[in-house]
C-alpha cells in the first residue's frame, strides 16, 4: 500500500532553492513528498554568480541551471511569476500575489536577498537601478544604450561586478565607495589600494572614502551626484550595489523569529521558530550570521534535505573565503585576512612593478595558516585554502608558498587527508573524488558529473583535476590529458579532427565532438587551431569570441589599460623613411618608443580608440602587424652578416627577411622567435631561439627548440651545411609538426623534451620523413604562406570590426590615461621607483 505523500512547498527558485530540489531528488525525497516550487521571477533558476557575462556576449539561456521541463520530468510542480506575499503558519498555507493558495505540510523558505539601496535623497529617480536579476540587466542595457557615463554605488564584490557590466556596455564608469578602500570586508588597505590602481588602469574611476549627500538633475547628464564636501559627479546611469539584505519580509509578517538586523533565525537543522518551516540561503540567519555566498547556501540546502528525510547532516557555519577575477584582475581572500586573531602574524610580499600583493596570516607558532590575501595573482589560492581548511602544517618558511619556490600545489596532493573538503559548494571531499575515480570514473568530466565537484562556483576545478590525476597514477593508469571537461580529446587529437573534417568554427567543433558550452581553456585553444589550419582573420565574427584580450584588439594590453603597437620590421632592416614614419606616429600620439631585443620598435600607450588611426598611418607607409600580441611568429633577429661584417660568410639579413616574411602570421601553441647569424661568432644569438640559423662556409646550420624566458634552454643542433632550399624545407616541417602535435601553450623546448625519442625522433620525422608526412607538412605550410593577411589592415577596412574600437557606444569621448614624463617620454603614472640616471652618473 502506497504511503500518502506529504505536501512540500518551496518558496524561491534561485540557485539555493534549485540546489535543494536537486538534492531532494537525488536522495529519493520525491517518494515521500509532493513538491511545489513557487518562483517570483519569470525565469527558472539561473546562475547569478556569472550574471555580468551576459553583457560580455553570453546568452541568458546559458546561465539557466535547469529548464522547467527538468522539473516536470522529476514530478516537481514549478510555478513561475508567482511571488508569495502571505504565510499563515497556523493554517499551514501560503498565498501568492495572484491570490492563489498552496497548503503545505512542510515549507522551505529560499527567498534569498534583495539589493540594499542607501537612503540617499533622489535614489528613487528614473535612471537609478539595482543589479540582481535578468530583468534588471535588460533595463540597465536599455538605459546604457542612450548614455555615456555610468556610476556604481558600492565598491564591494557585487559593486565591482556591476562596474564591469557598465564597462562592457561601453560607458565611462565610476565606482563610489563609502569605505576608504575597495572590498573592505575581504582586503586590507594595501590590497584595496593595489586593486584600485589595477582597476583604474582599465579605465574605471574609483572614488573611495566618498559619501553621497543627494542625487539631483544634472546639467550635462541625467543625474548629478552631490558628495559630502560639495564636489559632484554627473552621470546618465546609476547602479546601486552596496550590499544585500535578507529577504525576510514574508517570515517577518508571519511572526517568525528574525534577527535584529534581519534574517530568518534558523538552527543547525535549518528549522525556523515555526513548526515545519525551514529557511535556507541568504534569507537565513544562523548564529547571528548571514552568508552571502552560494556555497554556504548549498550546505544549508543539504542540511534541510537531511532534516526532511531523517538524515543526520547539519549546518555548522561555512568558510567565506573567496576567489574571483574582477575585470581580469585576480583577487583572493581566505579566512582571517585582517589578522584579527590573538597572536596572528603577517608574512607578505608586495611587487608594485607587476602589481602583485600576497599576504599570509599565520598563528603565533608559524605552523597554521589563519588567512591570506592575494591581489594580482591567484595561482596559490587552492593550495593556501587547503592549508587553511584542513589545518595542514605550514613549511618551515611559509613565504615559500607565495614565492613559488615549492612545487605547484605539491603540498595538497601529498598531505591532504581524505576528509579534506575540495569543493565547498557541493561538500565534496578528497575521499569522495578518490572513490569516484576508483569506481571507474576516469575522466574529469565523469568525476564532475558523479560528485558535482567543480560545478558550483568552479574555483576548485584545478584542485579536482590534481586529485583525479594523482589517483589515476596511484592506480597505475595514465592520467587524463583531455583539453578540458568539454572535449574528451587532447589538443593533438582535436587538431587532427578539425583538419580531417574541415571544421571551420568553434560551434561546429563543439557540436560534433564536445559537450556543454566551452570554457576559457578550450575556446582560445580551438581558436588557435582554426587559425593554424585555415588562416582566417581572428576578428571574423565566428572567431572573435574565442580570442583573449590581446588578440581581441590586435595589440598587447598594458598595465594602464592602453595598448602597444608593434609593426613588423623583417630581419630588423628598416629604411630611413620607415624610421621617420615611426617617429612621426609616436610623436603625434604621444607614444613611448622602445627598440626591443628582437630588433623592432615598440610604441606604447595607444588608447583603444586610437589603434585603427595609428594602424592606418603605418599601413600607408608600408608596415604591417608584427603580431606581438599573438601566439605566433614574433621576430627574426639578425646580425648584419656578410653585407657589412668582415667575419660574415653569408647574407644573414636577407635570409632573416625571407624567413620572417614566409612565416609571419602563423598561429602556434606558443609564441615563436627566430634568429639568423651570418657566422659562428653568433651575434644574433640564434642558439637561444625556437628556430636558430647560423651561416657556415658550406651552408646553414639549423638549431631548434631553444628559448629564453623564465626557463632558458639552449637550442639543439638539428642539421648542418644546408642549402637555402633544404633549410626552408626543414623549418617548414619542424614548425608544422610542432603546430600539429604540441599541447596547449606548450613551448617548442618542452614539446621536444616530451617527444618520445626527443631530438633523434624529430630528425627522423623531418629529415628522414619516417612517418611519410613531409609533403603534407610542406603543403600545409604553403597554404598558410599563401593566405597570409595583415590583421591590422583587415580590421581597419571592415566597418563592423573597426566599430569595436570605439571608446563608448554613443560618445567619441575617450579614456585619458594618467601620464608622467621621464627621460623625454610619456610613461604611466605609478608608484614604481624610477632610476635617477643623473645620480648614477
| Lowest-confidence pick of 114-128, 669-683, 826-840 | 826-840
Q: How confident is the model at residue 804 (pLDDT cuts 50, 70, 90)?
A: confident
- 589 has pLDDT over 60: yes
- 164 has pLDDT over 50: yes
> Are both 43 and 172 inside the same structural domain?
no
Last residue within a domain, chosen from 547, 571, 593 = 547
What integer pLDDT is reported at residue 160 of this predicted model?
87
3-state secondary structure (DSSP) of residue 26: helix
Residue 284 within any structural domain of the chain: yes
- Number of helical H runs and strand E runs in the chain: 27, 37
Query: How many angstroms separate the CA atoms of 768 and 775, rounded?
Result: 12
Backbone angles phi, psi at 583, to 5 degrees: -65, -40
Of the candidates 601, 596, 735, the residue with the CA atom closest to the CA atom of residue 662 = 735
What integer pLDDT is reported at residue 408 of this predicted model?
39
Instruction: Tell me the residue length of the chain.
Output: 841
Mean predicted confidence (pLDDT) in 130-136: 88
- 140 has pLDDT over 80: yes
Dihedral of the alpha carbons of 390, 393, 394, 396, in degrees to the nearest 10: 180
Supply the mean pLDDT for the chain. Answer: 88
> Are both 751 and 645 inside the same structural domain?
yes
- 153 has pLDDT over 70: yes
Percentage of the residues of the chain whose pLDDT score is greater than 70: 93
What integer pLDDT is reported at residue 480 of this predicted model?
63
> Are both 637 and 781 inside the same structural domain?
yes
Higher local confidence (pLDDT), 169 or 187 = 187
Last residue within a domain, chosen from 532, 547, 562 = 547
Are residues 556 and 628 in contact, defined by beta-carbon separation less than 8 angstroms?
yes
What integer pLDDT is reported at residue 413 of this predicted model?
40
Dihedral of the alpha carbons of 103, 104, 107, 109, in degrees to the nearest 10: -10
> Are both 769 and 723 inside the same structural domain?
yes
* CB atoms closer than 10 angstroms to residue 513: 17
What integer pLDDT is reported at residue 835 of this predicted model?
60
Ranges assigned E (strand) in 681-810: 691-696, 699-704, 716-722
> Are both 696 and 824 inside the same structural domain?
no
What grid cell was written down for 28?
529519493
Q: How confident is the model at residue 811 (pLDDT cuts 50, 70, 90)?
A: low
Which helix (DSSP H) or strand (DSSP E) does residue 777 occupy? helix 774-786
Query: How many angstroms separate the CA atoms of 520 and 398, rounded?
Result: 31
- 839 has pLDDT over 60: no
- 479 has pLDDT over 80: no
- 354 has pLDDT over 80: no
Ranges assigned E (strand) in 165-300: 172-176, 204-207, 212-217, 223-227, 232-235, 237-240, 244-246, 264-266, 277-279, 284-286
Query: How many angstroms separate the CA atoms of 348 and 681, rounded?
Result: 46
| Lowest-confidence pick of 179-183, 327-331, 767-771 | 327-331
What integer pLDDT is reported at residue 240 of this predicted model?
94
What grid cell was written down for 183?
572590498
What grid cell was written down for 385?
585554502
The CATH number of the domain holding residue 236 is: 3.50.50.60
> Are both 748 and 812 inside the same structural domain?
no
What integer pLDDT is reported at residue 456 of this predicted model?
65
Instruction: Report the domain count for the chain.
Output: 5
Mean predicted confidence (pLDDT) in 238-251: 93
What grid cell was written down for 562?
592602453
> Are both 776 and 685 inside the same structural domain?
yes
Percentage of the residues of the chain whose pLDDT score is greater than 90: 56
Q: Which residue has the cell 518551496?
A: 10
What integer pLDDT is reported at residue 459 of this predicted model?
63
- 533 has pLDDT over 50: yes
What integer pLDDT is reported at residue 457 of this predicted model?
61
What integer pLDDT is reported at residue 813 of this predicted model?
62
What grid cell was written down for 228?
559630502
Dihedral of the alpha carbons of 412, 415, 420, 426, in degrees to the nearest 10: 30
| Lowest-confidence pick of 452-461, 648-657, 744-753 | 452-461
Say which DSSP state 193 is in: H
What integer pLDDT is reported at residue 583 of this predicted model?
94
| Lowest-confidence pick of 1-10, 32-41, 131-140, 181-190 | 1-10
Alpha helices (runs of H) in 82-154, residue ranges in sequence order:
134-144
Q: How confident is the model at residue 381 (pLDDT cuts 50, 70, 90)?
A: confident
Residue 758 within any structural domain of the chain: yes
Residue 171 within any structural domain of the chain: yes
| Lowest-confidence pick of 329-338, 760-769, 831-840 | 831-840
What grid cell was written down for 239?
547602479
Mean predicted confidence (pLDDT) in 215-241: 93
Of the candidates 46, 50, 43, the residue with the CA atom closest to the CA atom of residue 519 = 50
Q: Which residue has the cell 574605471?
A: 204
> Are both 747 and 816 inside the same structural domain?
no
3-state secondary structure (DSSP) of residue 564: strand
Backbone angles phi, psi at 601, to 5 degrees: -110, 115
Query: How many angstroms separate the CA atoms of 793 and 795, rounded?
Result: 5
Query: How many angstroms separate the CA atoms of 76 and 108, rounded?
Result: 14
> Are both 829 and 711 inside the same structural domain?
no
Question: 523 is in which domain, residue-wise?
Answer: 491-547
Query: How many angstroms separate the CA atoms of 746 and 182, rounded?
Result: 37
Last residue within a domain, chosen from 547, 564, 590 = 547
What grid cell was written down for 763?
630528425
- 3 has pLDDT over 70: no
- 56 has pLDDT over 70: no
3-state secondary structure (DSSP) of residue 544: helix
Relative orientation angle of helices 724-741 and 774-786, to the nearest 10 degrees? 90
What integer pLDDT is reported at residue 815 of this predicted model?
63
Higher local confidence (pLDDT), 827 or 90 = 90
Of the candidates 542, 538, 534, 549, the residue with the CA atom closest to the CA atom of residue 507 = 542
- 305 has pLDDT over 50: yes
Query: How many angstroms separate the CA atoms of 256 and 254, rounded?
Result: 6
Residue 319 within any structural domain of the chain: no
| Lowest-confidence pick of 114-118, 482-486, 618-622, 784-788 | 482-486
What integer pLDDT is reported at residue 650 of this predicted model?
94
3-state secondary structure (DSSP) of residue 38: strand
Backbone angles phi, psi at 29, to 5 degrees: -70, -20
Residue 56 within any structural domain of the chain: yes
- 721 has pLDDT over 90: yes
> Are both 25 and 88 inside the same structural domain?
yes
> Are both 625 and 637 inside the same structural domain?
no
Residue 470 within any structural domain of the chain: no
Considering all CA atoms of the chain, what is the largest pairwise distance in Å, rounded to the nearest integer?
103
- 504 has pLDDT over 90: yes
Q: Is the pTM of this model over 0.75?
A: no
Say which DSSP state 393 is in: P
Backbone angles phi, psi at 453, to 5 degrees: -60, 135
Are residues 76 and 30 in contact, defined by beta-carbon separation less than 8 angstroms?
yes
Mean predicted confidence (pLDDT) in 665-678: 93
Query: How many angstroms separate the CA atoms of 581 and 428, rounded?
Result: 61
Q: Which residue has the cell 554556504?
A: 296
Query: Of the spans 147-161, 298-312, 382-396, which averages the highest pLDDT?
Result: 298-312
Are residues 247 and 283 in contact, defined by beta-carbon separation less than 8 angstroms?
yes
Which helix (DSSP H) or strand (DSSP E) does residue 137 occupy? helix 134-144
- 616 has pLDDT over 80: yes
Pairing mode of beta strands 601-606, 592-595 = antiparallel
Which helix (DSSP H) or strand (DSSP E) does residue 624 occupy? none
Residue 778 within any structural domain of the chain: yes
Relative orientation angle of helices 461-474 and 444-451, to the nearest 10 degrees? 110
Q: How confident is the model at residue 668 (pLDDT cuts 50, 70, 90)?
A: very high
Mean predicted confidence (pLDDT) in 24-50: 92
What integer pLDDT is reported at residue 1 of this predicted model?
35
What integer pLDDT is reported at residue 410 of this predicted model?
37
Mean predicted confidence (pLDDT) in 231-252: 93
Burial class of residue 699, CB neighbours in 10 A (0-12, 13-18, 19+): middle
Task: List CB contacts of 138: < 8 A, sequence separation 6 or more.
Answer: none
Q: What is the distance in angstroms between the CA of the first residue and the CA of the last residue of the chain?
A: 97
- 370 has pLDDT over 60: yes
Query: How many angstroms separate the CA atoms of 554 and 791, rounded?
Result: 7
Report CA-CA distances (Å) from 586 to 538, 550, 566, 744: 26, 20, 11, 36
- 753 has pLDDT over 60: yes
Query: How many angstroms separate the CA atoms of 674 and 662, rounded?
Result: 12
> Are both 235 and 284 inside the same structural domain?
no
| Lowest-confidence pick of 269-278, 372-381, 690-699, 707-716 | 707-716
- 722 has pLDDT over 50: yes
What integer pLDDT is reported at residue 478 of this predicted model?
66
Query: How many angstroms separate the CA atoms of 388 and 369, rounded?
Result: 5
Are residues 707 and 688 in contact, defined by beta-carbon separation less than 8 angstroms?
yes
What integer pLDDT is reported at residue 840 of this predicted model?
53
Residue 318 within any structural domain of the chain: no
Amino acid at each position: 500500500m502506497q504511503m500518502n505523500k506529504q505536501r512540500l512547498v518551496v518558496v524561491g527558485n534561485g540557485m539555493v532553492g534549485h540546489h535543494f530540489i536537486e538534492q531532494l531528488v537525488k536522495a529519493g525525497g520525491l517518494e515521500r513528498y509532493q513538491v511545489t516550487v513557487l518562483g517570483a521571477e519569470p525565469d527558472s533558476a539561473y546562475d547569478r554568480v556569472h550574471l555580468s557575462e551576459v553583457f560580455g556576449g553570453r546568452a541568458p539561456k546559458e546561465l539557466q541551471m535547469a529548464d522547467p521541463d527538468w522539473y516536470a520530468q522529476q514530478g516537481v510542480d514549478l510555478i513561475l511569476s508567482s511571488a508569495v506575499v502571505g504565510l499563515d503558519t497556523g493554517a499551514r498555507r501560503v498565498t501568492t500575489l495572484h491570490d492563489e493558495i498552496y497548503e503545505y505540510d512542510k515549507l522551505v523558505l529560499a527567498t534569498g536577498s534583495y539589493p540594499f539601496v542607501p537612503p540617499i535623497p533622489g535614489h528613487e529617480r528614473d535612471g537609478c537601478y539595482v543589479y540582481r536579476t535578468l530583468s534588471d540587466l535588460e533595463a540597465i542595457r536599455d538605459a546604457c544604450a542612450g548614455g555615456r557615463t555610468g556610476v556604481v554605488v558600492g565598491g564591494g564584490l557585487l559593486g565591482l561586478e556591476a562596474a564591469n557590466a557598465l564597462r562592457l556596455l561601453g560607458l565611462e564608469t565610476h565606482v563610489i565607495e563609502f569605505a576608504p578602500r575597495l572590498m573592505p570586508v575581504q582586503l586590507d588597505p594595501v590590497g584595496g589600494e593595489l586593486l584600485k590602481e589595477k582597476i583604474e588602469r582599465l579605465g574605471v574611476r574609483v572614488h573611495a572614502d566618498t559619501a553621497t549627500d543627494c542625487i539631483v538633475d544634472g546639467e550635462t547628464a541625467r543625474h548629478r551626484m552631490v558628495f559630502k564636501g560639495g564636489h559632484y559627479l554627473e552621470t546618465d546611469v546609476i547602479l546601486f550595489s552596496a550590499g544585500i539584505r535578507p529577504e525576510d519580509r514574508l517570515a517577518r509578517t508571519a511572526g517568525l523569529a528574525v534577527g535584529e538586523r534581519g534574517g530568518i533565525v534558523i538552527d543547525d537543522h535549518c528549522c525556523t521558530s515555526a513548526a515545519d518551516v525551514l529557511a535556507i540561503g541568504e534569507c537565513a540567519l544562523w548564529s547571528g550570521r548571514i552568508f552571502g555566498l552560494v556555497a554556504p547556501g548549498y550546505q544549508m540546502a543539504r542540511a534541510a534535505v537531511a532534516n526532511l528525510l531523517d538524515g543526520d547532516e547539519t549546518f555548522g557555519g561555512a568558510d567565506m573565503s573567496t576567489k574571483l577575477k574582477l575585470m581580469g584582475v585576480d583577487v583572493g581572500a581566505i579566512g582571517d585576512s585582517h589578522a584579527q586573531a590573538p597572536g596572528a602574524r603577517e608574512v607578505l610580499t608586495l611587487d608594485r612593478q607587476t602589481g602583485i600583493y600576497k599576504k599570509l596570516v599565520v598563528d603565533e607558532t608559524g605552523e597554521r595558516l589563519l588567512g591570506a590575501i592575494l591581489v594580482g595573482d591567484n595561482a596559490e589560492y587552492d593550495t593556501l585554502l587547503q592549508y587553511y581548511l584542513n589545518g595542514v602544517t605550514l613549511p618551515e618558511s611559509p613565504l615559500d608558498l607565495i614565492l613559488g619556490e615549492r612545487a605547484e600545489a605539491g603540498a595538497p596532493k601529498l598531505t591532504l587527508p581524505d576528509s579534506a573538503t575540495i569543493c565547498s559548494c557541493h561538500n565534496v571531499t578528497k575521499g569522495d573524488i578518490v572513490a569516484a575515480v576508483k569506481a571507474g570514473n576516469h575522466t574529469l568530466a565523469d568525476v564532475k558529473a558523479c560528485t558535482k565537484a567543480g560545478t558550483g562556483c568552479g574555483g576548485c576545478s584545478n584542485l579536482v583535476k590534481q586529485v583525479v590525476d594523482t589517483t589515476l597514477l596511484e592506480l597505475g593508469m595514465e592520467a587524463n590529458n583531455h583539453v578540458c571537461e568539454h572535449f574528451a580529446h587532447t589538443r593533438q587529437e582535436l587538431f587532427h579532427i578539425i583538419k580531417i573534417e574541415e571544421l571551420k568554427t568553434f560551434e561546429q567543433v563543439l557540436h560534433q565532438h564536445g559537450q556543454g558550452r566551452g570554457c576559457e581553456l578550450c575556446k582560445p585553444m580551438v581558436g588557435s587551431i582554426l587559425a593554424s589550419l585555415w588562416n582566417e582573420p581572428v576578428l571574423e565574427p565566428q572567431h572573435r569570441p574565442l580570442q583573449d584580450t590581446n588578440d581581441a584588439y590586435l595589440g598587447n594590453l598594458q598595465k594602464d589599460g592602453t595598448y602597444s603597437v608593434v609593426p613588423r620590421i623583417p630581419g630588423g632592416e628598416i629604411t630611413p623613411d620607415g624610421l621617420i614614419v615611426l617617429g612621426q606616429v609616436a610623436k603625434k600620439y604621444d607614444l613611448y618608443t622602445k627598440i626591443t631585443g628582437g630588433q623592432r620598435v615598440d610604441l606604447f600607450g595607444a588608447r583603444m580608440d586610437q589603434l585603427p588611426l595609428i594602424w592606418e598611418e603605418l599601413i600607408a607607409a608600408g608596415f604591417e602587424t608584427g603580431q606581438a600580441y599573438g601566439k605566433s611568429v614574433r621576430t627574426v633577429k639578425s646580425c648584419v652578416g656578410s653585407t657589412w661584417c668582415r667575419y660574415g660568410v653569408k647574407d644573414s639579413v636577407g635570409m632573416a627577411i625571407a624567413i620572417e616574411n614566409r612565416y609571419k602570421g602563423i598561429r602556434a601553441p606558443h609564441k615563436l622567435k627566430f634568429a639568423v647569424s651570418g657566422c659562428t661568432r653568433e651575434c644574433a644569438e640564434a642558439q637561444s631561439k625556437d628556430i636558430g640559423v647560423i651561416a657556415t662556409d658550406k651552408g646553414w646550420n639549423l638549431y631548434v627548440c631553444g628559448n629564453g624566458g623564465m626557463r632558458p634552454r639552449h637550442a639543439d643542433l638539428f642539421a648542418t651545411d644546408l642549402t637555402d632550399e633544404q633549410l626552408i624545407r626543414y623549418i617548414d616541417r619542424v614548425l608544422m609538426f610542432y603546430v600539429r602535435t604540441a599541447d596547449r601553450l606548450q613551448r617548442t623546448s618542452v614539446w621536444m623534451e616530451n617527444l618520445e625519442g626527443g631530438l633523434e625522433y624529430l630528425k627522423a620525422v623531418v629529415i628522414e620523413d619516417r612517418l611519410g608526412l613531409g609533403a603534407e607538412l610542406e603543403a600545409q605550410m604553403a597554404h598558410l604562406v599563401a593566405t597570409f593577411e595583415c590583421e591590422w589592415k583587415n580590421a581597419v577596412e571592415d566597418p563592423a570590426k573597426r566599430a569595436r574600437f570605439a571608446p563608448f557606444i554613443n560618445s567619441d569621448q575617450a579614456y585619458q590615461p594618467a601620464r608622467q614624463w621621464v627621460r623625454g617620454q610619456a610613461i604611466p603614472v605609478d608608484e614604481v621607483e624610477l632610476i635617477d640616471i643623473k645620480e648614477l652618473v
